[in-house]
Chains A and B, each alone.
Chain A
Amino acid sequence: MNFGFQNLRNNGKADLRVISKLRRLKLFQDFTPKELIEIARIVYVRHYRKNELVFKENHPGVGMYFVDSGSVKVIKSSHIDDERQLSILQPGQFIGELCLLNGESRTISAIALEETCLLAVFRPDLMGLLNRKPRLGNKFLMTLIQAVTSNLRKKDEELLQMKETLSNSDIIQ
């Protein structure tokens, strides 16, 4: 167990390493250095071993994770087989954003595929940021919503393509 009270020792000063990790993420490209310092204060850097569970389906969801290094497998339990792999997340991508926004239970599970570093943002901390710095909190939320809608649009296109492929294939006929 590591009782590294770095945050307390630094007297709340954001860790420069966290800021540099945030800078690499596409989501935070439009954030000023001052804003990144504030965001870094609510970010937890977590290291996962290979095959370690990040979060489990049906558990209460409290936050989202950005992949800093390594990769994460996203799975969902299914009636047909035990579990179905939905996607593999690479550095720069994120997961669990819906739980951050609505605070509901997880609908998927996430497992680290290799030695992985994730940046976690939890809902209570985001709520605190929204209370203390509403402009920054709202900017973070708007940026996140833009990224989520962009992902959703891509998924829609993929779904449409799949439907077209299926309708042209022999399986439906």
Chain B
Amino acid sequence: MNAILLLVLLLLIALPVARFIILPLLVSLFLTMLSTPVINHLESVGFGRLTIIILFTILVVGLAFLTVMKILPLLYSEAIQISGRISAPEIYTSLQSALTVPRINRVLENYCDFVLYMKDQSVNTLRDNPPLFMVILIVPVLFFLILKDGYYLKKSFIQSLPNHYIEMMVNLLHRIEERMNIWLKAQLLVGLIAGGLTTLALISLHIDNYLLIGFMVGFSFLTPYFGPLIGTLIAITFALLETGSIRFAVAIIIAFATIKLLHNLLFETYIGKKALNLHPLIVLLLLFAGAYMGGFIGLLTIVPAANLFLIFMGEIYSNFKNYGYI
């Protein structure tokens, strides 16, 4: 009873700061999932577990340092550069000069308003969330603690359960871990390939903000059905803003068609087996909600987040059903 009261009290205290914890925790869990097989392998060939964990933490600290010192400032300056260009009259002129079709003006105006809204919402989302540098500083600490004590924390939690639920919880935690592991790795693979190829295509087209656009396109490919289309639109819009030339839009469409083809050929079969079958309508509704709430950030993250949530809930449901609780 005391433990429950303590837990409720802790939750009440933690609620206002929960959003500062959740993102670093998710990033740390993701890094842990990625590094665990390598750590296990090194341990199996005779290295001490603690030594490997310390080495990996140093690696994560190095990555965090690189992100804070190099990648974030670069992404930030690209975002500022693009953001500066997204002001209605300029984007309109830029796009108008690119597409010299008079009838399309009204559509263009609406599109410009939409891009402006998306930019504002993205800025609001970033403002409401914990500063990225704080996330990056907390991640190595959490990463170390999860790797070192995660198993014992899980064991202590299972040990504290009544006998009636112990097998169900062991099974549930294992299934969730397994499914999320497969799903996250598959998504990472798709995102990296799509983002990497986009960045290369943009570099070859001499478009400046290749890193930010590549990053966004990588994320967009995690959304089924509409992801590649969103990615193409983002890349074309940003490239037009920068260059004002339709030539680049055509080149980007060709580049993206090739990337999508490669994606289909190499990964669709592999990912298709592991992905959840979200109905296109649901995906579309989620995309609208994401864009409305969080601009570009919401648009790119809402479907993968919903997918993750559905995996989690699906496993809970099937496990409860298998054990006859529902």
Residues of A within 8 A of B (CB): 1-8, 10-12, 44, 46-48, 52-56, 59-63, 120, 122-124, 128, 131-134
Contact = CB atoms under 8 A, between A and B. Distances in A.
Nearest to B39: A132
Contacts of A5: 153, 156
B171 A62 contact: yes
Contacts, number: 83
Nearest to B164: A53
Contacts of B170: 62-63, 122, 124
Contacts of A133: 43-44
A3 B174 CA distance: 21
A102 to B, nearest CB: 14
B40 A132 contact: yes
Given A7-B152, A62-B170, A132 B160 contact: no
Given A7-B156, A60-B171, A44 B166 contact: yes
Interface string B180-220: 00000000000000000000000000000000000000000
Contact of B44 (A44, A55, A134): A134
Contacts of A47: 163
Interface residues of B, number: 33
A7 B40 CA distance: 20
A93 B115 CA distance: 69
Contacts of A134: 44
B88 interface: no
Contacts of B163: 46-48, 52-54
Contacts of A6: 156
B164 A55 contact: no
Given A11-B149, A132-B40, A133-B43, A120 B160 contact: no
Given A52-B163, A55-B167, A62 B174 contact: yes
B322 interface: yes
Interface string B145-180: 000110111011011101110110011011001000
Given A53-B164, A59-B167, A8 B174 contact: no
11 contacts: A4-B159, A7-B155, A8-B149, A12-B151, A12-B152, A48-B163, A60-B171, A60-B319, A124-B177, A131-B40, A132-B44
Contacts of B40: 128, 131-132
B107 interface: no
Contacts of B158: 44
B320 to A, nearest CB: 11
A5 B152 CA distance: 8
B326 interface: no
B149 A1 contact: no
Best-surrounded residue of B4, B170, B322 (most CB of chain A within 10 A)? B170
Contacts of A54: 163
Contacts of B49: 132
B84 interface: no
A76 B162 CA distance: 24
